Amino acid sequence: MKRFLNKNILITGSANGIGKATALRIATEGGNLALIDNNSEKLKELCNELSFFPIKFVSAVCDISDYNLVKICIDKLAEELGGLNGLSHNAGILRVYKTLEMNLNQWNELISINLTGTFNVNKHALPWLLKNKTSYLVNTSSSASEQPHPWLAAYAATKGAIKSFTRSLFIEYFQHGLHANCVLPGGITTDLANSFSFPEGVNKELIKTLDPLGQKIYAEPAKAASVIAMLLSEDAEHINGTEIAIDGGKV
Strand extents, DSSP E, the chain: 8-12, 32-37, 57-61, 86-89, 135-140, 178-185, 243-246
Which stretch of DSSP H or E encloses residue 119?
helix 117-129
The residues assigned a catalytic role are 155
Q: What is the torsion angle, in degrees rounded to the nearest 10, for the CA atoms of residue 18, residue 197, residue 153 and residue 169?
A: -10
Among 162, 203, 154, 156, which Cα is nearest to 183's?
A: 162
What is each CA distance from 45 to 40, 42, 90, in whole angstroms?
A: 9, 5, 18
